Chains A and B, each alone.
Chain A
Amino acid sequence: MTFWLPVYTLWRRDLIRFWRERTRVLGFLGTPLIFWLIVGSGFGDMGFYYPGTLTLTVMFSAIFSMMSLIEDRREGFLLSMLVSPAPRASMVLGKVLGSSTLAWLQSVVLLVFLPLAGYPVSLHLLAQLAAVLFLIAFTFTSLGFLFAWKMDSTQGFHAIMNLVLFPLWMVSGSLFSMQQAHGWMQWLMRVNPLTYSVAAIRRLLEPSVADGSPALAVSVAVTLGCGLALWIASTAAASQKVSRSNA
């Protein structure tokens, strides 16, 4: 019980804060949606760009939700967490689950466009997509935690978003498939963890798609593995005894 109570309270706190500041946060939905409507309409293939759009939404909102950790540090709330006896693993999990839930909710909203993307709507498919989206959200927020833990300002966060995550997203099969890609690019896509997030969604929408996407089981396993590895790394980072020099 001492493990789950802190998880619950930190998760709940992020949800309450989100609800009280909802106008500020919902802005993150705009960019992926505009991207999808323009690029999808432009190429006349709303369906192909849909998985990438969902992934981008999760990525944006997960990373930006995790900026709350930097705010927690700046505003001081983090201090009282650090001097409480709550295990660091549960602290990290609570924070990650809170941000994941918010990112997940924002991506789930985009599922209303499923018919526009040309896919049949079924409860079964929605449940599967929702589950995979949560997994992706968990992975990105764990990654966000790892970045945010060491940072004092949100500017560095934007840099990582633009210089690391966005390029990775571009070569994840969201803009062009692995089949369309040439030589070394194919290889790059294969080692890009994001490829497996996009592929997991694509495989759920079109199980027999023959564009070189990895299989569903592999995609889910890689995403889950990355998520767990990043969560463990975040916990390890948060467990280090700090000796900060800002006396």
Chain B
Amino acid sequence: MIVEVDNLSHLYGSRKALDGLSFRVEKGRIFGLLGPNGGGKSTLFRILATMMAPSTGSARIAGFDVVSASSAVRRRIGVVFQTQSLDRKLTVGENLRAQGHLFGFSGADLSKRLEVALARMRLGDRRDDPVDTLSGGLKRRVEIAKALMHEPQVLLMDEPSTGLDPGVRRELSQHIEELRATRGVTVLLTTHILEEAERCDRLLLIHQGRRVAEGSPAELKSRVGGDVVEMETIARDGLPEQIRQRFQVEPQVIDGHIRVEIADGHRFIASVMEAFPGAITSIQLHKPTLEDVFLDETGEHLT
């Protein structure tokens, strides 16, 4: 296990950002931490990136404790921040060289690493461009190239897709997939974007600093029973209860909508419309998403 987190808790004053979180990440996986903003992902990211010590509990990366052996951890992790960490006044090449120096590389070794990093993220023709002049997607690629200069075993990425348009997002996830395939890098990323979470091998759902569920995206979605049907209704207090009795289902009321998980949703739609004429103003069916998994477990939306 390349990442081991045990009973991690963190307090900001009296607010609990992480509450007894434990999980393991296998080598070579793309592991996603999925949860709403403010759910504790960023705190967890900071602790794993050795930027801050947890209140209690422990975390190890490649066998090294993130607090007591932070220097050993830093040599083994590449960190891609949600915010930019490049010097905008320097060129791409200058940024990467500076990063290499921070890790103690110089001379031919550094030049070789620079070449590899540029080629890997297809930035060869951008070496002398000032970072200021790059697009958002290119900057993100430079950030990743920078994080990989020292060939880390684990790549930590905080919300890598946030702020990127869909085309760039897909391209980014191809890069990540390529890294895992060619170099066996383990990727641990935080996200609140479903599309990005879908592409992870394994997900840990976090809510209010606690574990909600863990598994592959397919496993998690299979926990939701069949289809999901959501109804908008004219205010009628007893309706969820009436649906429960009549169809032997467990309706949830979320944000004024009635939500039902049921096999053969299309049949249910016909029956429920007939059973309560005029009460339902809108009805829709979809296959379970990770959002449904999250809703099921927490009663709250992901975003």
Contacts and interface: CB of A to CB of B under 8 A. Distances in A.
A83 B12 contact: no
Interface in A233-247: 241-245, 247
Nearest to A78: B85
Nearest to A243: B52
Interface in B164-178: none
A156 to B, nearest CB: 22
Contact of A247 (B38, B81, B83, B97): B38
Nearest to A19: B89
Given A20-B89, A77-B87, A242 B51 contact: yes
Contact of B81 (A5, A9, A76, A84): A76
Contacts of B77: 83
A85 B83 contact: no
A1 interface: yes
A9 to B, nearest CB: 4
Given A9-B102, A242-B52, A76 B43 contact: no
Given A76-B84, A85-B71, A2 B99 contact: no
Interface string A1-32: 11001101110010011001100000000000
Nearest to A18: B89
B101 A6 contact: yes
Nearest to A242: B52
A79 interface: yes
A5 B87 contact: no
B153 to A, nearest CB: 14
A9 B43 contact: no
Contact of B101 (A8, A16, A242, A247): A8
B163 to A, nearest CB: 13
A242 B75 CA distance: 20
A76 to B, nearest CB: 4
Interface in A50-97: 75-77, 79-86
Contact of A2 (B17, B98, B104): B104
- If over half of B's interface residues share one DSSP class (helix, strand or loop), that class is named, otherwise mixed; here it is loop
Contacts of B51: 79, 82-83, 242
B101 A241 contact: no
B90 interface: yes
B302 to A, nearest CB: 18
Contacts of B112: none
Question: For chain A, which range describes its interface: under 10, 10 to 19, 20 to 34, or 35 or more residues?
Answer: 20 to 34
Given A5-B104, A16-B90, A241-B52, A80 B12 contact: no
Contacts of A1: 104, 106
Which of B87, B88, B97, B103 has the most chain A CB atoms closer than 10 A to its own CB?
B87
B74 interface: yes
A80 B85 contact: yes
Contacts of B12: 243, 245, 247
A77 B85 contact: yes
B44 to A, nearest CB: 10
A230 to B, nearest CB: 23
Given A6-B101, A247-B12, A76 B42 contact: no
A13 B85 contact: no
A245 B13 contact: yes
B53 interface: yes
Contacts of A8: 101
B49 interface: yes
A60 B79 CA distance: 36
B193 interface: no
A240 B146 CA distance: 25
B52 A83 contact: no
B38 A75 contact: no
Contacts of B88: 75
Contacts of B105: 5
B55 to A, nearest CB: 8
A77 B106 contact: no
B89 A83 contact: no
B86 interface: yes
Contact of A84 (B13, B103, B106): B103
A8 B100 CA distance: 12
A81 B43 contact: no
Given A9-B101, A80-B146, A84-B74, 10 more contacts: A1-B104, A5-B105, A6-B102, A9-B98, A16-B90, A17-B89, A75-B88, A85-B102, A85-B103, A242-B52
28 contacts: A6-B101, A6-B102, A6-B104, A9-B98, A9-B101, A9-B102, A17-B89, A76-B83, A76-B84, A76-B85, A77-B86, A77-B87, A79-B83, A80-B102, A82-B51, A83-B79, A84-B103, A85-B74, A85-B75, A85-B104, A86-B103, A86-B104, A241-B53, A243-B53, A244-B52, A245-B12, A247-B42, A247-B43
Interface of A: 1-2, 5-6, 8-10, 13, 16-17, 20-21, 75-77, 79-86, 241-245, 247
